[in-house]
Amino acid sequence: MDAGTGLFESVLRDMQSSPAAPTRSGGVTARDLLVLLKSAAAGPDASAAELARGLEIPAADVSLGLERGRRVGLVDAAKRRIQTEEFLEFCEHGLRFVFPAEVIGPGRVLPFDPAVPRAAATDARLKELFKHVDALRGGERRARSTALRELRELLREYRLA
């Protein structure tokens, strides 16, 4: 087995482990994406505890997600804000490869994290972000382009851009 195959298998194992488990590669997990989206929907003044309550996940998962987001350049630690342009770049170029959509019916995809349906049911802003993220995960080129444009507008509206 060559080094590239070993790294790929390592990343796959990380993605299949606990949603908040530390990754060997230092990259973000599906749970981290959930935390970053909730942080975007809630705004920079939301505390980790508030994010955890809103997502109904442990505060430790939120802290780990924000820290991994900071390490990969998606979160500005000093301002506690999503780095909008970097986040959009990740969404545009990375989501469909790192968190590909699994179609489960007409117009339905499997959530990238088990907490997504519960979180979407209680937060309209977050639900709207999920809709665009899902289009970026598995939509056709035109749908991805539209989703990216609308995601950018939402992030600006939420005072992140």
Question: Tell me, what's the pLDDT at 141?
Answer: 93
Each residue's pLDDT tens digit in the chain (161 positions)?
555 455 445 444 444 444 445 455 568 999 999 999 999 999 888 999 999 999 999 999 999 999 999 999 999 977 778 999 999 999 999 999 999 999 888 878 999 999 999 999 999 999 999 999 999 998 899 999 999 999 999 998 887 54
User: Which tokens belong to 104?
Assistant: 């489960």
Q: Which two tokens stand for residue 157?
A: 């509206």
- Whether the model clears a pTM of 0.95, i.e. scores above it, the answer is no
Cβ–Cβ under 8 Å, residues 115 and 18: no
DSSP 8-class letter at 19? T
What confidence score (pLDDT) does residue 15 get? 44
| Distant-in-sequence, close-in-space partners of 141: CB < 8 Å, separation ≥ 6 | none
Token readout for 12 is 């796959």
What is the pLDDT at residue 26? 65
Residue at token pair 């049911």: 121
- pLDDT score recorded for residue 142: 95
What is the pLDDT at residue 10?
47
The domains of the chain are located at 24-157
Residue 15: closest CA among 27, 29, 36, 1: 29
Contact between 18 and 57 under an 8 Å Cβ cutoff? The reply is no
Distance of CA 113 to the CA centre of its chain: 9
pLDDT at 83: 92
User: How many other C-beta atoms are found inside a 10 Å radius of the C-beta of residue 59?
Assistant: 15
CB 66 within 8 A of CB 75: yes
